[in-house]
Structure 1
Amino acid sequence: MVKNFLCYLFVCICQFTLTAEAQVIEEIKTAGQIYAYAQIQGDYEILLDFTYPKLIERAGGRTAMKNILKQIQDTKINKGQKLTALEFGDDIQFTTNATEVHAVVPFITVTKVPGGTITSESTLIAVGTESRDNWYFIETTSINEENISKVLPSWDHSLELPYKKPPVYKEDPL
């Protein structure tokens, strides 16, 4: 009887753990969908809401960061580039510390460029704070294992950032 109860308790704990993990991943994906929409639509206010606050602070504040985002967008538009898709992968790895959840989130972007499309595989870092009420993202374009602590001092180095992959250009059919 005790053995059956302990087995039942173990199964319940395992299910709770799996449910909690699935919930964290679902939260990241939901926040990611909003972030992706903001990226595609060029909605700087939403992008700023989902940008890791320390990055905004380092840029000189919200207005300065918004201007940086606009400049990047304007440069892309002037080059004939338009982000058409941003999709998150399923292989989200995460860990928790005392105050935050850190996750490595793979994603793929498709950008329309003159004469074709560029598909890029990359990674975002998702940071969940305040009991996961808020999710923030950090693009890893210029971040690696050596300098991540400058941006995210509490980074758990048990999570590994994947190697960066070169973008793939596909020419439009004639």
Structure 2
Amino acid sequence: MANKLLLSVICFFSFFSISKAQIESSIVDAAHAYARAQINADVESILNFTHPGLIEQAGGRENMKKTLQLIHQNQQNKGIKLQDFRVKESIQHTRSNGEIHALVPVVTTSKVPGGQLISETNLIAVSESGADRWYFIETTSIDERNVGKVLENWDGTLILPFKKAPVFKEDKK
């Protein structure tokens, strides 16, 4: 009897570990695809990864598309180009009201006039369908006080890290 109980406990924790690893792997894959879309200014793909609530708040898909295009055009006009978008390890995730929420640490490097701007930030990854499809919310203008306005099912289990100031690295002359 004790052996059966021990086997059951081992199976439960093995399943939990595999499930956790599969979720994190799925998030990383989606985040890499999102990063490629950002680097290539592929607005359609970015929209496909944008949380539907954000699209709705922007007035629909076409309005959000125009906004993203305008942002990319303004950055291009200012000589700003995203060069690198790396997903860091230590993804945290939880289940909240039927959704999976995850904090995904990322490091971005942008070419700016006179150098590079390196930023460490986090994305919030959201899956409404059990890790099959991921949406991302950038946290540059989100904190603990307003995250619930953007993501209704946020339960506060995950704590948004403090924001770090970007680091400017001047071009070598």
TM range (shorter): over 0.9
Q: Distance in 2 between matches of 1:148 and 1:131?
A: 21
Letter in 1 for 2:99: E
Pairwise CA distance, 1:167: 0.2
Q: Distance in 2 between matches of 1:88 and 1:133?
A: 19
TM-score normalised according to structure 2 size: 0.97
1:68-119 deviation digits (Å, cap 9, x = unpaired):
1111111111111110000111111110124210111110000011221110
> Structure 1 residue runs of 4+, over 3 Å off?
none
2:62 alignment counterpart: 63
Letter in 2 for 1:33: H
- Residue 162 of structure 1 aligns to a residue in which SS? coil
Percentage of identical aligned residues: 47
Letter in 2 for 1:131: G
Q: Distance in 2 between matches of 1:74 and 1:147?
A: 28
Letter in 1 for 2:6: C
Pairwise CA distance, 1:41: 0.3
Question: After superposition, where does 1:19-38 map in structure 2 within 5 Å?
Answer: 19-38=18-37
1:30-60 deviation digits (Å, cap 9, x = unpaired):
1101100000001011100000001001111
- Stretches of structure 2 lacking an aligned partner (at least 5 in a row): none
CA RMSD of aligned residues (A): 1.0
Q: Distance in 2 between matches of 1:153 and 1:55?
A: 11
2:143 alignment counterpart: 144
- Residue 109 of structure 2 aligns to a residue in which SS? strand
- Stretches of structure 1 lacking an aligned partner (at least 5 in a row): none
Letter in 2 for 1:132: A
